[in-house]
Structure 1
Amino acid sequence: MSDEPELRRRLGLSDSVVIGLGSMVGAGIFAALAPAAAAAGSWLLLALGIAAVVAYCNATSSARLAAVYPVSGGTYVYGRERLGDFWGYLAGWGFVVGKTASCAAMALTVGSYAWPEQARAVAVGAVVVITAINYAGVQKSALATRVIVGAVLVVLAVVAAVCFAGDHGGAAALPDRIGPRGVLEAAGLLFFAFAGYARIATLGEEVRDPGRTIPRAIALALGIALAVYAVVAVAVLLVLGSAGLAAGADPLARAVTAAGVDGLAPVVRVGAVLAAAGSLLALILGVSRTTLAMARDGHLPRALAAVHPKYEVPHRAELAVGLIVAVVAASFDIRAAIGFSSFAVLAYYLIANISAGTLSVSENRPARAIPIIGALGCGVVALSLPMSSVIAGAAVLAVGAIAYWARKFATR
């Protein structure tokens, strides 16, 4: 029996679903639609469908694995237990670096919508505030996320209703020259908006009755997010068309203006800030838990495994993650952050699907096709991202692998 301090199981089904939704129905729907439309054109909905299929397979594999291994760490733990220490480490490394970039993208989205002229300064401030919320305890984080998700869903419902009922005469399509690679690239960018469902699995050590709660929460959160994304994408395409959707960084605000209700644009901008803040809150929560798990195993400094005696959270891991995210948000571009994050996280889920394929019948393994489709989908979509993202992501994964083997040889 390990003598490591453990986290308290306090999250039920509703809180788990809300944390997953807070990670998905966030900045992605406000930030990823425009670059995805530029890549896929009128085939945007097909790209959304591909991203959803990959996400579903990943979610199913993650849920089955989380039921067998209901502890903090997600695929870092699954890969280690099913495939070996190196693969678990590589998954954890990919998750931490990919989601750190994702956190920075969320923070920059907050800054871009709240105060475009001072976007980086606002992004850093948002990271500081949200790290403080997480430091005070996961229960407060779940409550804050519930409020944010509710507000964002109301804003998105209003956007969809206005767009469906508004003027569709200005919609314009991009030239029909989009090939399969463009559709797959768009799917990779849209995957950025889906990837939060497994945040529930990374919180496995804090979920009550994890074998029952985690699979149900992942399925519910993913289903709700997919429905929301599909409705909003169709509504905005009706008003702007693929050309209008691809033309700017604030498509939902421009869509309500084009639909004839320009007074709603400030409300949409507030919704974008809330959405990005909610995603950032849940993302930092998940990254700090994977950092905790890797620190427990010595892959990161063991000091990061400390659990606060009062707040019962991995406080050093949360502070370290918050500091790094703030530095990245102050230094890098949001589009680069999205592409890099998608590549690293798809690599993470590739390992999750391979791990799920090793489950036995007694461990309630998924249908054989699910991890196969999930693994192939992750690989193909990751390699279809912009070449700069592929090269940067592969280089960072290689650095992590080299560091692992160097440490192994040094301790022999």
Structure 2
Amino acid sequence: MTEQPVTVQGEEKTDLKRVMGPGLLLLFIIGDILGTGIYALTGQVAAEVGGVVWLPFLIAFIVALLTACSYLELVTKYPQAAGAALYTHKAFGIHFLTFIVAFAVMSSGITSAATASRAFASNFATSLGLEVGAWGVPLMAVAFIALVAAVNFRGVGESVKMNVVLTVVEVTGLLIIIGIGLWAIAGGQGDVSRAWTFATPENSGVFWPVVSATALAFFAMVGFEDSVNMAEECKNPSRVFPKVLLAGLGITGVIYVLVAISAITLVPADELGAGETPLLKVVQAGAPNFPISIFAVITMFAVANSALINMMMASRLIYGMAREGVLPQALGKVHAERRTPYIAIGFTSLLAVVLILFAGGVPALGGTTSLLLLCVFAIVNIAVLVLRKDKVAHKHFRTPTILPVLGAISCVFLAGPWSGRDPIQYGIAACLLGLGVLLWFATVRFMKTAAAAA
């Protein structure tokens, strides 16, 4: 006899099993936000603003919080596992716009995985003291993506219990940095005054360098939006989500600010901004006797998890869009033995390899990820206002109207060229979305031709 889905008040009927309570959901959110951003981009943020490296992370947290409130209203109103694409479709009903949003989310997963792969390779080379030359890090990153593709092909499913383990590892690495910083400050080591010192290019003022650094630091705050895809597997999501998501964002925001202060206290901004392994330098400066290889392994484990999760998400999105008939059907093929979308895995992995080899380093790739998601977030903030006219039977979170308005404005502002973004980020994003549009038109044309022939 087939077990029927069970619902309680505030829950919609679902075929998925509701296994996540508040504790597991909190760990999922924290684990999803923590990772590559803070481990890899702290130095680049410091290069933009100097000692006040913590300030862009704080502003990025506030911007993320505004958008998170919009997500909270939508996920408690529509507790379904489809995220931004679902909200866009419900609000505007334009299939092409829904496709662009879904493809942008997929592209952000690939650029995020490419960023993680570069960070993984850099930490691997540094921990072993390898002199790898100009192409060494990119080639190691490509090898890592190939390994991720192999694991993805075998059909690895990220269970909630595994997420708990990975989250503990990621948090441990950052707590080590905070602990080393506090120990150094207590012992009179380092220079705390650096945390209040701006060091910006001449004649640039303070405002625009902070904006540019915030646009980059925003990459460290993305991930919270993935949690909405767990709505159908959470117990009473309409009641639980608001408190848990806000708590998760708050915890990660505090960790990021403390890590940034610890880092700049021990390592000057110019040294912190050189290379792609900033937190390894902090450990070496504050605790030279601490086994650097252990922290390097923690760092690699954290960014490796980010790469795997994002590549799995990207390949499944491509697979789903192919099955819906908006991308070529070949991308929706499933391997007969492994039951995994092997064509989609190969396609997304190939895109990641191209980005690693030809799209620049961590700042360019991480910046492109935040650019794509800022555009998606702007649409979500508008969607929540449009959908106010759509009433549902159950109670749900309602964010103050001013917050999505501020969220949309701040996301558009940080996505604009005035934010000091490297033009290469717009080029990468345009190429990825352009590829999606070409595939979409090719699919539509093929379907029309097939229908006419029939």
Separation (CA, whole Å) in 1 of partners of 2:350 and 2:150: 12
Partner of 1:351: 379
CA RMSD of aligned residues (A): 3.3
Match of 2:305 among 278, 301, 308: 278
Contact 2:180 2:283 in 1 (8 A): yes
**Highest Rg: 1 or 2?**
2
Match of 2:399 among 342, 366, 382: 366
Separation (CA, whole Å) in 2 of partners of 1:295 and 1:69: 24
SS in 2 for 1:32: helix
Match of 2:122 among 109, 112, 124: 112
Do residues 22 (structure 1) and 49 (structure 2) align? no
Contact 1:354 1:375 in 2 (8 A): yes
Compute the displacement of 1:305 (Å).
Answer: 5.0
Structure with greater proportional helix content = 1
**Unaligned 5+ runs, structure 1:** 1-5
Compute the displacement of 1:100 (Å).
Answer: 0.9
Do residues 175 (structure 1) and 199 (structure 2) align? yes
Compute the displacement of 1:327 (Å).
Answer: 4.4
Structure 1 residue identity aligned to 2:112: S
Compute the displacement of 1:306 (Å).
Answer: 6.5
> Aligned residues: percent identity?
25
The number of residues matched between the two structures is 407
Q: Which moved more, 1:359-368 or 1:92-101?
A: 359-368
CA shift in 2, pair 1:288/1:402, >3 Å: closer
Compute the displacement of 1:376 (Å).
Answer: 0.8
Separation (CA, whole Å) in 2 of partners of 1:330 and 1:266: 26
Following superposition of structure 1 onto structure 2, how do residues 7-406 of structure 1 map, counting pairs within 5 Å? 8-9=16-17, 12-13=20-21, 14-84=23-93, 85-115=95-125, 117=132, 118-134=136-152, 139-166=157-184, 167-169=189-191, 175-177=199-201, 178-204=205-231, 207=234, 209-212=236-239, 214-302=241-329, 304=331, 317-318=344-345, 320-334=347-361, 335-360=363-388, 362-363=391-392, 364=396, 365-383=398-416, 384=419, 385-394=421-430, 396-397=432-433, 400=436
Q: Which moved more, 1:211-220 or 1:40-49?
A: 211-220
Separation (CA, whole Å) in 2 of partners of 1:10 and 1:319: 32
CA shift in 2, pair 1:399/1:131, >3 Å: closer
Separation (CA, whole Å) in 1 of partners of 2:372 and 2:113: 13
Contact 2:328 2:443 in 1 (8 A): no
Compute the displacement of 1:114 (Å).
Answer: 1.1
Separation (CA, whole Å) in 2 of partners of 1:44 and 1:235: 10
SS in 1 for 2:327: coil
Give me the TM-score of the superposition, normalised by structure 1.
0.85
Compute the displacement of 1:264 (Å).
Answer: 4.0
SS in 2 for 1:23: helix
Contact 1:133 1:140 in 2 (8 A): no
Separation (CA, whole Å) in 1 of partners of 2:215 and 2:29: 19
Compute the displacement of 1:368 (Å).
Answer: 0.6
Contact 2:27 2:163 in 1 (8 A): yes
SS in 2 for 1:393: helix
Structure 1 residue identity aligned to 2:190: H
SS in 2 for 1:86: helix
Superposed CA deviations along residues 352-406 of structure 1, whole A, max 9, x for unmatched, are 1111122327454421112111111111111112233234435654665576578
Separation (CA, whole Å) in 1 of partners of 2:80 and 2:154: 21
Partner of 1:3: none
Contact 1:37 1:242 in 2 (8 A): yes
SS in 1 for 2:290: helix
Separation (CA, whole Å) in 2 of partners of 1:41 and 1:70: 42
Superposed CA deviations along residues 12-32 of structure 1, whole A, max 9, x for unmatched, are 144444443333211111111
Compute the displacement of 1:104 (Å).
Answer: 0.7
CA shift in 2, pair 1:321/1:353, >3 Å: same
Separation (CA, whole Å) in 2 of partners of 1:286 and 1:220: 24
Compute the displacement of 1:198 (Å).
Answer: 1.1
Separation (CA, whole Å) in 1 of partners of 2:90 and 2:431: 25
CA shift in 2, pair 1:388/1:134, >3 Å: closer
CA shift in 2, pair 1:9/1:280, >3 Å: farther
Q: Which moved more, 1:23-32 or 1:171-180?
A: 171-180
CA shift in 2, pair 1:152/1:290, >3 Å: same
Separation (CA, whole Å) in 2 of partners of 1:286 and 1:399: 18
Superposed CA deviations along residues 163-213 of structure 1, whole A, max 9, x for unmatched, are 122111497556355532211111111111111111122344555554445
Superposed CA deviations along residues 131-169 of structure 1, whole A, max 9, x for unmatched, are 455556675444333222212211221221111221114
